[in-house]
Amino acid sequence: MIGHLKLESYRAAALATVLALAAGGAQGADSAEIVGKMIDAHGGMAAWTAAPTVAFTEEFRQGEATSGFPGRVVVEQGRRRARLDYGGAMQAYWDGEKAWSVNWMVPMPPRFLALLNYYFVNLPWLTQDDGVNLGEPATATLWDDPTEYITVRMTFDAGVGDTPDDYYVLYIHPETHQLRANEYIVTYRGILPEGVTATDPHILVYDEYTEVGGLVVPAHYTIYEADRSVYGSCALTDWSFTEPWDESWMEMPEGAVVDATQP
């Protein structure tokens, strides 16, 4: 009888493990496996890595606003140089070491904004960057959404990028494996009040996805404060992974202003 009870316990444990894995839960799978499934759900690494650039038009809307000021973002893969063009009247550039701008009227430093949206909308693939650390998987819900999302905390080695103390918590859907949301903080000193080392956590929810060249990318996201009030939202259109990089963009024009803010 004792042996029979032990066997039944083993069977029950094995069945529970199989059911958890079948449901796509975090139990029984490490972060590398879970993140690998997320990357596959967004089109895999190969096409994204092979793209010469990542380009999209962004329209950020502050708070509950229904419209914003659209701008074109082009980021060179590999070197991660960037150009932001707001209707030809205002531009910002990043050459990997410094940022400069022309007719800049945005109340945020160009160096801070140069790769900000690039990170927000490419997180599945950026998990594979050098210096990225992935924490142990867990589960969590988003407000009144009953889905038990798999969560993986993404941190950075010291010296990686301008703000290695930033973090992202990825909310991965247990069935589709797509990235549903991320929690993040900002530690860029140039936008923080004196004595403050980080913003409060925000939750960025991906409201809609679209497919471009086999890659599944955001078409819209909304950022929420901790109390679920809307911080802002962003529409993303005209995605391209083939737009050419223009080397002349890296030639600083006369009258350009170098961003002197400290990251």
Token couple for 224:
């929420």
Mean pLDDT of 191-209: 96
Res 206 pLDDT > 70: yes
Q: What percent of the chain has pLDDT over 90?
A: 82
Indicate whether 244 belongs to any domain: yes
pLDDT score of 12: 40
Cα–Cα distance for residue pair 86/105, rounded to 1 Å? 10
Q: What is the mean pLDDT of residues 24-53?
A: 89
Question: Do 148 and 25 meet the contact criterion of CB atoms below 8 Å apart?
Answer: yes
Q: Is 22 buried (19+), middle (13-18) or exposed (0-12) by CB count in 10 A?
A: exposed
Q: How far apart are CA 166 and CA 186, in angstroms?
A: 6
- pLDDT band of residue 28 (cuts 50, 70, 90) is low
The number of helix segments (H) and strand segments (E) in the chain equals: 6, 14
Of the candidates 128, 111, 72, 78, the residue with the CA atom closest to the CA atom of residue 190: 111
B/e letters for 78-95, b = 16+ CB within 10 Å, e = fewer, are eebbbbbbbeeebbbbbb
Q: Does the pLDDT of residue 6 top 60, yes or no?
A: no
- Residue 187 is assigned to a structural domain of this protein: yes
Residue 217 lies in a domain: yes
Q: Does 53 have pLDDT greater than 60?
A: yes
Confirm whether 263 is domain-assigned: no
**11, part of any domain:** yes
Average pLDDT over residues 241-249: 97
Q: What is the pLDDT of residues 56-105, one digit of tens each?
A: 999 999 988 887 889 999 999 999 999 999 988 899 999 999 999 999 99
Number of domains in the chain: 1
Report the CATH number at residue 73.
2.50.20.10
Q: How confident is the model at residue 209 (pLDDT cuts 50, 70, 90)?
A: very high
183 within domain boundaries = yes
Establish if 245 belongs to a structural domain: yes
CA distance 24 to 137: 12
Answer yes or no: is 159 within a domain: yes
Predicted confidence (pLDDT) at residue 8 exceeds the cutoff of 80: no
User: Which residues constitute the domain of residue 137?
Assistant: 2-258
